[in-house]
Each structure stands twice: as structure tokens, then as C-alpha cells.
Amino acid sequence: MEKPPIELWGDTPVKAGSKKRIRLEVGESYTGLSVRLPLLVWRAKEPGPVGFISSAVHGDEINGTGTIRELINNPGFTLTKGALILLPVVNIIGFERHSRYMPDRRDLNRAFPGSVTGSITSRLANLLTTEIIARCDFGIDLHTAAVRRTNFPNVRANMENPGCRDLAKAFGCELIVDQEGPAGSFRKCATELGCPTIILEAGEVWKVESLYLETALRGIRNCLAHLGMTDQAPIECPEPWVVNSTQWVRAGAGGFLQFHVAPGEFVEENQLIATNAGLLGLETELIYSPHSGVVIGMSTMPAVSPGDPVVHIAKVPQKDISKLEKAHDRQHEDSLEVRMREDLATNVHIVGVREESP
Ligand SMILES: [Zn+2]
């Protein structure tokens, strides 16, 4: 693929040691007005790696948009080498509608590399492939859980790719899910085109959550420091644990859930994780974890139909759980990891498992 220069965007030059706001032409809206993709190119004085940081590929996942706004206004570091391309909203058309999807109801994150003659979604993917991925040596793409769910922070990366593995470890998230990503996703396409890209999955749609911001900013700064692009040293983080298999546990009956586990919590095989009850209190179903592991995502919506997702478990062998529990016990109460687990646990009402009457 032809590699366009970082210092020239169409007719617009970006000088070393400067920041430039650029709007790339995407297409036209129904009213015939042009739709543009806003981005900030930030070049250090010295040459070095070029990376993108993007958010809202799913237009309602704006926790990362808040993160990139912070990077633009108050980065907290000096960029000493290379360049960053900051994309606060990639799916600019879905974002306008508070929607995950493009207006043709396609998922932009399944449309890469796209095509110049395809649908509007395919054309936007093509623009990102030729203008962003082609200029970059690495990428960090920020996501949240889908609507009515929340995620415990996890980095997703193809750990067989040395560049992705390096970034994922440098980020400093406790949990790494080793997956290459779905076909047509931004990160899979970028990685295959020689731009190793990882994603952060955390929090909810339609919000900028304080601890998401803190997690994402720490991770991005750590990656940039690791690559020698800033004047900072990486912040020391817990050793990450890598999982390669996850499973959604689904409701078997219609009802109203009571959750017994919180995001980030360890579970044993056959542990009761939710009670599904009718509106007048009669239990309809007890939902158990099919595996030992950690809760990386859960529904925030207690009303369920059969098949609705309840809890997302990252599978961890039981023998490793006790090791991880010990590592948690060593974490300081003020650490981001502990505060994150406490914050997510208060976001949804969690009740202890009721004692059986004698
Ligand atoms: Zn997403």
C-alpha cells in the first residue's frame, strides 16, 4: 500500500513540532452538505513512530471521545518523537444519531478495508485505510460495551503479532484478551496492513466515565512512553494476565434479574451469578457460571428474554484464579485497579447470594 507522508494531507502541510486540525471529506449528507472527518495531527520535532488513537468507530461509544479530547487539551506529556493522529469520532455519521451504526445500518467495524466505489460505510472504511492506516506504524482504538452492557477494562490484541503484543503489554491493563478481532474490523485490517493495532474495551455507551478516562489515558501514555515518543517514563502497572477464550452466559427464561457478581469479579465453575425472577418475586431460573474465570462484561439491563446476554466470562483455569486473587490482595486500595472494580460494582445493584433457609 502506498504510504502517504505524515507531513502532507492533500494540499495541507503539517510542520514538524506543530499540531494541525484537519477535516477529511467523507461524503455528503442527505441535505447535500459535505460530511467531514475531524482529526488532529500532532508532530514532534524529531522523527519517530507514527500512531493513531481513535474512538467511536461505533458511533455511540464515546468514552474514548472524552479521552481523546483530554489528549488534545491536556495531554500531560510532551511529544518528543514521531507523530500522533487523534480521531475523536471515527463514525462521524453514526455519532450524529447517537448510534453504533452507519445510516445504511452497516457496522463500520466490519467494513474494512472498504472500497472507493462501495456503500457509504465501505467508502468511509476506505478513507480510513488509505489516509490513516497507511500513514501509521501502530494504532490504539477505544471502544466500550454495546448498549445496555458494561465492560471491565480489557485490552484486546492479536498476541501472535509482535507489535500488538508489545503494545498490549505496555498499555498496563490487568486483562488482555488474545484475539485477532472480527473480519473487517479496523484493528484486524490495520494489523494485517502492517500497523499493529490494539483496542481497549471498557465501560458503557453514551458516557464519559471518570475511571475509563483514567484507564485509557494511563494506557496510552504508557504505550507512547514505551515507544520512546514522550518525555515520560511508563507508570508501573500490575503484570497483565492473558485469556484467549470468553463466553456470554445467557438467560434461559424471561424475567427480571438480580446480579450476584460484579464486573472484574472472579467466579468459580457452577457459581450462582444471577437469579432470574418474575415481577412478583417467584424465581424462574438460577443462572450459573459454566466456567471459572473473570467477569469482563455484564448486562446493565435487568429485564431479560430467553437468549439475552447476562454475564460475559473470560475463562481462567481454577488453579490460576487463586494466583490472581493473591495478586489482587497485594494491590493498594488507592490503585486504579481497585477503584475501578469498586466503581463498576456500584454501577449495577449487586446482591449477595441469599442463604438457604434451614
Ligand atoms: Zn465498539
Judged by DSSP in three states, 126 sits in helix
- How much distance in Å is there from the Cα of 193 to the middle of ligand 1? 21
The CA 185 to ligand 1 mean position distance, Å, reads 10
Distance 107 CA to ligand 1 centre (A): 10
pLDDT score for 354: 59
Single-letter amino acid code for the residue at 147: V
The amino acid occupying position 329 is: D
Per the structure block, which three cell numbers stand in for 315? 475463562
Residue 289 C-alpha to ligand 1 middle, in angstroms?
Answer: 25
Stretch (H or E) spanning 247: strand 246-250
What are the backbone dihedrals phi and psi of residue 82, each rounded to the nearest 5 degrees, phi first? Answer: 80, -150
CA-closest candidate to residue 344, choices 201, 240, 177: 201
Q: How far is the CA of 145 from the centre of ligand 1 (A)?
A: 7
pLDDT at residue number 353: 75
- The answer to whether 310 touches 299, Cβ cutoff 8 Å, is yes
Spatial CA neighbour of 7 closest among 49, 54, 56, 43: 43
Span 8-226: which CATH code? 3.40.630.10
**Grid-cell match 457509504, residue found:** 120
358 residues of the chain, pLDDT tens digit each: 678 999 999 999 999 999 999 999 998 888 888 899 999 999 999 999 999 999 999 999 999 999 999 999 999 999 999 999 999 999 999 999 999 999 888 999 999 999 999 999 999 999 999 999 999 999 999 999 999 999 999 999 999 999 999 999 999 999 999 999 999 999 999 999 999 999 999 999 999 999 999 999 999 999 999 999 999 999 999 899 999 999 999 999 999 999 999 999 999 999 999 999 888 888 889 999 999 999 999 999 999 999 999 999 999 999 999 889 888 889 999 999 999 888 876 778 888 875 544 4
How far apart are the CA of 117 and the centre of ligand 1, in A? 25
Distance 143 CA to ligand 1 centre (A): 4
**Of residues 116, 98, 96, 120, the one with CA closest to residue 108:** 120
CA distances, 310 to each of 29, 254, 275, 294, 302 (Å): 38, 12, 10, 14, 9
- Gap from CA of 205 to ligand 1 centroid (Å): 9
Alpha helices in 132-258, H assignment, sequence order: 162-171, 186-192, 210-226
Q: Amino acid identity, residue 348?
A: V
CA distance 240 to 95: 32
Closest CA to 195 of 216, 219, 169, 164: 164
Distance 231 CA to ligand 1 centre (A): 31
What's the CA-to-centroid distance between 15 and ligand 1, angstroms? Answer: 33
Residue 155, number of CB atoms within 10 A of its CB: 27
> Measured in angstroms, how far is the CA atom of residue 122 from the centroid of ligand 1?
17
Q: From the CA of 153, how far away is ligand 1's center (Å)?
A: 13
From the CA of 212, how far away is ligand 1's center (Å)?
A: 14
Q: What are phi and psi of 94, to 5 degrees?
A: -65, -40
Name the strand (E) or helix (H) holding 103: none
**Which letter, b or e, does each residue of 312-346 get, where b requires 16 or more Cβ atoms within 10 Å of its Cβ?**
bbbbbeeeebeebeeebeeeeeeebbebbbebbbe
Residue 84 in 3-state DSSP? strand
How far, in Å, is the centroid of ligand 1 from the Cα of 17? 32
Interhelix angle for 210-226 vs 162-171, to 10°?
A: 130
H helices within 227-335, ranges in order?
A: 318-329
Q: Which residues surround ligand 1, an ion (CB under 5 A)?
A: 58, 61, 143
Ligand 1 centroid distance, CA of 60 (Å): 8
| pLDDT value for 71 | 97
Q: Tell how far the Cα of 2 is from the centroid of ligand 1, in angstroms.
A: 28
- In this predicted structure, what is the pLDDT of residue 358? 40
Measured in angstroms, how far is the CA atom of residue 170 from the centroid of ligand 1? 22
Which architecture characterizes domain 245-347 according to CATH? Answer: Beta Barrel (2.40)
Longest dimension (CA), the chain: 79
Q: Could you tell me the residue ranges of all domains in the chain?
A: 8-226, 245-347
